[in-house]
Amino acid sequence: MTELSNWAELNSDLLRAIYKELDDPFDYINFRAVCKSWKAAVLLCEHPPQFPFLLERDPLIGSDFDVYSLHTGKTRRLHVLEARNKKFFGQSQGYLVTFQVPSGEQNSCFPALLNPFTQTKVHLPFDSFNFYRPVYVGIDPIRNTSNVVIVMRGPSTGRPYVGFWRSENNDWALKGSLPGYVETYHKGRLFCSEYENSCTKAIDLTTGNTILEASFPTKRGFCSLVEGAGALFGIAQFGVNVPGTPLEKCEFEVYRLDENAKPPCWVKRSDIGDLMIFLNYNICHSDGFCLSASDFDGFSGNCIYFTKSNGMVGHYSQMLIGRYDLGKNRSEVIDKRSCSNTTWILPNFY
């Protein structure tokens, strides 16, 4: 009888070739969990493009998440022990901001960044709850340094508060207030919406100075700023956050920032080509990201995927998944989910 092979001694080139043939994100997790040598091998290879999951949780402070794939139509259960008795806000590159639900004499919320797929956790240097949202989590594309975490804290009064964390020294390199609502991180700059002056401002991370300013093209500004194909897009939405508005009546406008214009300005676009924009529902604001449709079979670009409450009252109201076609100026319902506590999230296995 032939003895079983020592799986830990398989050639790293063979492991990378096998890894690239996987198409289910949960297979990536299982692959990396086999042993240290398998995990080390795939760190060296290019990670395949990932389609976002819709992350769902009921009850709101449970440790189990349902992750629904629009790509495969499958729903999987993800047990995240660190999520128990915690709420979460926002997402960026697969990370959520979590905070402890106060109970009894315990008033501290212990905010942290949490990757639900790897259960990696990064504690944040705040000790009271207001509102936290990750703006960017990942490699600094300008300075080519180690992981940079940028987290926004929006206080109930005063200006937004931002912290920057660099992993090479495990320290918060800069913390301070900014003149507007922090939207996104793009080419080494923070972009903020300043509603008092109806404009978008770009803040240099090194100096803290405003280096670009562009007036809003619409009265209400944008619901979200997203980066795609090296460009920055501003998204204006109509009807999504209005109770009672049918999803089919929801509309969007997309603008591209022209930094070379004098002065810089937002230019309306009716065609974003191969790009798909994903927007998360929020009663006050939305966050989003872009993907290339050509990376995924069966999907076409020039569209916006979004979520909208069906208007029912209570934690168990439905969340509708919609798709807006920019070319046809039309929204359609493509799915319904029973959980209202949802967010689009890009799986991150590092």
Residues 305, 276 contacting (CB under 8 angstroms): yes
Percent of the chain at pLDDT > 90 equals: 28
More confident residue, 122 or 246: 246
Percent of the chain at pLDDT > 70 equals: 77
pLDDT winner (highest mean) among 18-22, 43-47, 315-319:
18-22
Instruction: Give the ranges where the chain is alpha helix by DSSP (H).
Output: 12-20, 25-32, 36-42
Tell me the two tokens of residue 248.
């089919």
Distances (CA, A) of 137 to 103, 164, 234: 30, 10, 20
> What pLDDT does 234 receive?
96
Residues 254, 262 contacting (CB under 8 angstroms): no
Q: What is the pLDDT of residues 155-166, one digit of tens each?
A: 555 556 677 766
Banded pLDDT at 134 (limits 50, 70, 90): confident
Average pLDDT over residues 28-41: 80
Q: What is the pLDDT of residues 269-294, one digit of tens each?
A: 999 999 999 998 665 556 889 999 99
Indicate if the pLDDT at residue 315 is higher than 50: no
Domains by residue range for the chain, with CATH: 1-48 (no CATH), 49-345 (2.120.10.80)
d(CA 137, CA 190): 13
More confident residue, 230 or 168: 230
pLDDT winner (highest mean) among 4-18, 180-194, 211-225:
211-225
Indicate if the pLDDT at residue 47 is higher than 70: no
Cis peptide before 59 (omega within 30 of 0): yes
What is the per-residue DSSP string for 196-238?
TTTEEEEEETTT--EEEEEE-SSTT--SEEEEETTEEEEEEEE
Please tell me the number of Cα atoms within 13 Å of 49 on its side-chain side. 10
Average pLDDT over residues 132-139: 74
> What pLDDT does 63 receive?
87
Share the mean pLDDT of the chain. Answer: 81
> What pLDDT does 167 receive?
60
Measured in degrees and rounded to the nearest 5, phi and psi for residue 40 equal -65, -35
Average pLDDT over residues 315-342: 87
> What pLDDT does 217 receive?
95
Average pLDDT over residues 122-126: 74
Q: What is the reported pTM?
A: 0.85
More confident residue, 257 or 28: 257
